[in-house]
Amino acid sequence: MDFKNNRTFMKSGFDLPEREFISDQERGLPPPSVEKAMDSNLRIIELPVVDKNIMKHSDLYDCLNNRRSRRNYKDLPITLEELSFLLWSTQGVQKMIPAYKNTGHITLRPVPSAGGRHAYETYLAVNNVAGLEKGIYIYLPLAHKLAFYHSVDNLPDKLIYAYGGENYQEEAMWLGRAPVVFLWSCIPYRGEWRYHGEAHRLMLLDIGHICQNLYLASEGIGCGTCAIAGYVQKAFDELLGIDGENEYVVYVSAVGKVE
């Protein structure tokens, strides 16, 4: 098999004349919104104010040194305070820079993003979070709130299938026991609007930062996480009710309390 195209995709092409582009931003087209438009009928859940006293291990060295991918979780709920902290650490908005000329609004968050595009939405598959009904939620970063999206019959089974497919159900069982699963979907036009065909590489780099913050923030509060990148694409997209074209899941990470 020839991997040439895939290798080229990993490389920067900003200086290459053959990859020169005029982006929609340069054409003067309006910027995409920084947050997905929400059905106003969705139930909104307030999140506790993020408080740094939640940290059990606030030493960065310890968090880096202890970080591991953790798949064994205690049979205990995640609290809303913990969830609020993890959402803020990964996608919370610290500052909004107002639109200037045709930049669109830019949000600053605990994670960096190429050109401040922040092309990801955060969904949660909630199995065991104190005070939350089981089901699928979406994070509203501008307001730091959750919206309840929909309930799912046999959510653990659906997660196990979406991760393991037909052939690896046994290996995927641990995901069904996770109290909460973060699912990041990409809205590609947010990046394409500014960076055209260079956007996709940048957006993949961005998601690594997001998940790394989840790893470190989880370590800091006595939780653990494990990233998942190999899964049944269609099953996760369908679980969230997204179209798989203009929005699709790119990365998943389970969270629970650990020893």
Q: What is the dihedral sign for C-alpha 36, 138, 89, 163?
A: negative
**Of residues 50 and 227, the one with the C-beta less far from ligand FMN:** 227
CB of 170 to ligand FMN, least distance (A): 13
**DSSP state for residue 184 in the 8-state scheme:** E
CA distance 191 to 200: 7
CB of 219 to ligand FMN, least distance (A): 11
CA distance 187 to 90: 17
**Of residues 162 and 226, the one with the C-beta less far from ligand FMN:** 226
Residue 131's alpha-carbon distances to 83, 103, 137, 193, 230, in angstroms, are 11, 39, 13, 39, 31
CB of 221 to ligand FMN, least distance (A): 18
* 204 in Cβ contact with 250 (< 8 Å): yes
**Of residues 107 and 113, the one with the C-beta less far from ligand FMN:** 113
CB of 249 to ligand FMN, least distance (A): 12
What lies within 8 Å, CB to CB, of 192 at 6+ separation is: 23, 24, 199, 200
**Of residues 130 and 205, the one with the C-beta less far from ligand FMN:** 205
CB of 229 to ligand FMN, least distance (A): 3
**Of residues 10 and 229, the one with the C-beta less far from ligand FMN:** 229
| Residues found near ligand FMN in the complex (CB under 6 A) | 68-69, 226-230
